[in-house]
Amino acid sequence: MRPRAREDERGISPSGREGDTLPAVAEILMGVTGGIAAYKSLDVLRILQRHGHGVSVVMTHTAERFVGSASFAALSGREVGTHLFGDAGQPGYHHLDVTGGKDLMLIAPASANTMSQMATGAANSLLTSCYLAFRGPVVVAPAMNTAMWLHPATARTIETLRADGVHLVDPDTGLLADGAVGPGRLAEPAVIVAAVEAALAGTAAVKDMAGVRVLISAGGTREPIDAVRYVGNHSSGRMGWALAAAAYDRGAEVVVVQANVDLPRQPGIRYVNAPTAREMRDACRAEFTSSDLLLMCAAVADYRPVAAAGGKMDKAEAESLTVALERTTDILAELAALRDDQVLIGFAVEHGPDGLGRARAKRDRKAVDIVVHNDAAVAGAAFGGPDNIITIIGPGEAEIALPRMSKRACAEHILDAARPLVPARTVSA
Ligand code: CTP
């Protein structure tokens, strides 16, 4: 892979400045299998090219019945592989020639048939032979009708592929070619490309955050009412975990200050427990001075019970109980006021139509570089799920609204936006 200067769809670089260098211009081997969604692969190819990637295409024979190989050849500017050497009585391709020099293999759309061959290790087409011979990251975007997608056999296939380390891009739910509405529709091309870039960023070759010290707060604080009860929130910590994994994979030194997160810890990342707002403030302040980048992802309670009762409160005779609450310190705003040259990123979970405006105002009020907005009212963007729908507000006038994608892919976009702001002195990569 080689470095590149990347721009978003509107020609604005993630930092709002020109000439920022981002990693991961890659050589991609794109497999196309049979299905009505095969035409969407042309869009995927174009977006990948616009992002600076080189794309070579292999197709199954069934795919050719939906979209001609000539379309892919014209767009990619390269020959399209359709059959194995000796297959179909014609000179074909040797799979090792096709996979050589490729950084990532993408299969979109992936049919139930091709995926089941991949899961069992069958190598009866050029595409499946390439899959077996390829040693880099593999991204698979399935597409099929709802009944096939929901069949237990497909579920077993998917489970096997995931266990083999394949990055799955879940299909969308919507109107399918057969008129039915349900899961199985190929994910949007932009979402597939984001998954490709997230997988590329996770490969050893991209270490654009080497030497950068990243502090991430994650989870949701719990404020004691008494020894057994608390005021809390629904934050799962998944977004913070995704940011930590992405930053770590990009070579950063990562500290996670976490509140009540019940997710596996990753070797190489340092975790500090901070279950309450007060402990989170103390831990963040202690870690902040030696950090370059703060991602304040935790859902910190804005209020806590004034004086937590020592033991367990007895049920009062009264029909109702009033718990007096006091304001907690706004940790993000406090750290922004204390900053030396750290880059600060806040998160704004807002509800409803004015949310984006409130998130923009929050960025100014808290004096941070970037605010990541997500609308808790939109399906797919809620607490605890694997996906998120975010808008990255800042730096400067830049604003990037992303479609629904995995929290890991969101994390890569957030780091892409933050990376150019981190002072150059910390960069050793
Ligand atoms: N935050 C913080 N300390 C707090 C509360 C929030 O550091 N006591 C941080 C969060 O981690 C997040 C950002 O501030 O990065 C936004 O949190 P939010 O609760 O949405 O903002 P508030 O300032 O509390 O605004 P609102 O009036 O919407 O509650």
Q: Residue 61: inside a domain, yes or no? A: yes
Q: Residue 95: inside a domain, yes or no? A: yes
Considering 146, 176, 201, which residue would you say is the last residue of a domain?
201
| Distant-in-sequence, close-in-space partners of 257: CB < 8 Å, separation ≥ 6 | 215, 216, 217, 218, 272, 274, 280, 283, 284, 287, 298
| Residue 351: pLDDT band with limits 50, 70, 90 | confident
User: At residue 16, does pLDDT exceed 90?
Assistant: no
User: At residue 9, does pLDDT exceed 60?
Assistant: no
Q: Residue 358: inside a domain, yes or no? A: yes
**Does residue 298 line the site of ligand 1, with CB under 6 A?**
yes
- Residue 233 a catalytic site member: yes
User: At residue 330, does pLDDT exceed 70?
Assistant: yes
Residue of 328, 332, 356 best suited for mutating to test ligand 1, as the one with most atoms within 8 Å of CB: 332
Cα dihedral 276→260→166→156 (10° resolution): -150
Considering 136, 170, 201, which residue would you say is the last residue of a domain?
201
Distance (Å) from CA 370 to ligand 1 centroid: 14
Helical residues (DSSP H) of 300-376, grouped into ranges:
331-338, 355-366
Instruction: For 64-119, write each residue's pLDDT tens digit.
Output: 999 999 999 999 989 898 888 766 666 677 777 788 888 899 999 999 999 999 99
Name the residue with the closest Cα to ligand 1, atom 18.
348
pLDDT in the model for residue 310: 78
Please say whether the beta carbons of 252 and 209 come within 8 A: yes
User: At residue 24, does pLDDT exceed 60?
Assistant: no
Please say whether the beta carbons of 396 and 16 come within 8 A: yes
Q: Count CB neighbours of 391 within 10 A.
A: 18
Q: Residue 321: inside a domain, yes or no? A: yes
- The structural domain count of the chain equals 2
CATH for 392? 3.40.50.10300
**Average pLDDT over every residue of 380-407:** 85
Q: Report the DSSP pairing between strands 27-32 and 54-59.
A: parallel
Exactly one of 113, 145, 233, 260 is catalytic; name it: 233
Q: What percent of the chain has pLDDT over 90?
A: 63
243 and 162 within one domain: no
Distance (Å) from CA 329 to ligand 1 centroid: 10
**Does residue 169 line the site of ligand 1, with CB under 6 A?**
no
255/296 Cα distance (integer angstroms) = 12
Q: Is 216 helix (H, G, I), strand (E, B) or coil?
A: strand
**Average pLDDT over every residue of 395-403:** 91
Considering 201, 228, 245, which residue would you say is the last residue of a domain?
201
411/182 Cα distance (integer angstroms) = 28
Name the residue with the closest Cα to ligand 1, atom 24.
302
| Residue 357: pLDDT band with limits 50, 70, 90 | very high
User: At residue 425, does pLDDT exceed 80?
Assistant: no
183 and 51 within one domain: yes
Distance (Å) from CA 264 to ligand 1 centroid: 26
**Does residue 346 line the site of ligand 1, with CB under 6 A?**
yes
CATH for 113? 3.40.50.1950
Distance (Å) from CA 88 to ligand 1 centroid: 63
Q: Is the dihedral of CA 189, 81, 65, 75 positive or negative?
A: positive
**Does residue 359 line the site of ligand 1, with CB under 6 A?**
no
| Distant-in-sequence, close-in-space partners of 276: CB < 8 Å, separation ≥ 6 | 221, 222, 223, 224, 259, 301, 304
User: At residue 13, does pLDDT exceed 50?
Assistant: no
10/274 Cα distance (integer angstroms) = 40
pTM above 0.75, yes or no: no
385 and 358 within one domain: yes
Instruction: For 185-207, write each residue's pLDDT tens digit.
Output: 999 999 999 999 888 876 655 68
pLDDT in the model for residue 25: 76
User: At residue 121, does pLDDT exceed 60?
Assistant: yes
340 and 194 within one domain: no
User: At residue 21, does pLDDT exceed 50?
Assistant: no
pLDDT in the model for residue 370: 98
Please say whether the beta carbons of 156 and 142 come within 8 A: no
Cis before 109? omega within 30: yes
239 and 281 within one domain: yes
Distance (Å) from CA 387 to ligand 1 centroid: 21
pLDDT in the model for residue 88: 62
Q: Residue 16: inside a domain, yes or no? A: no
Q: Distance between the two ends of the chain, CA-based, in angstroms?
A: 14
**Average pLDDT over every residue of 227-254:** 93
Structure tokens at 59: 């197709």
414 and 282 within one domain: yes
183 and 265 within one domain: no
What angle is formed at CA 122 by the lines to CA 118 and CA 125, rounded to 5 degrees?
Answer: 90
**Among 334, 349, 326, 240, CA closest to 284:** 334
Residue of 296, 325, 414 best suited for mutating to test ligand 1, as the one with most atoms within 8 Å of CB: 296
**Does residue 241 line the site of ligand 1, with CB under 6 A?**
no
**Does residue 400 line the site of ligand 1, with CB under 6 A?**
no
Instruction: Determine the structural domain holding residue 158 and report its residue range.
Output: 27-201
374/391 Cα distance (integer angstroms) = 7
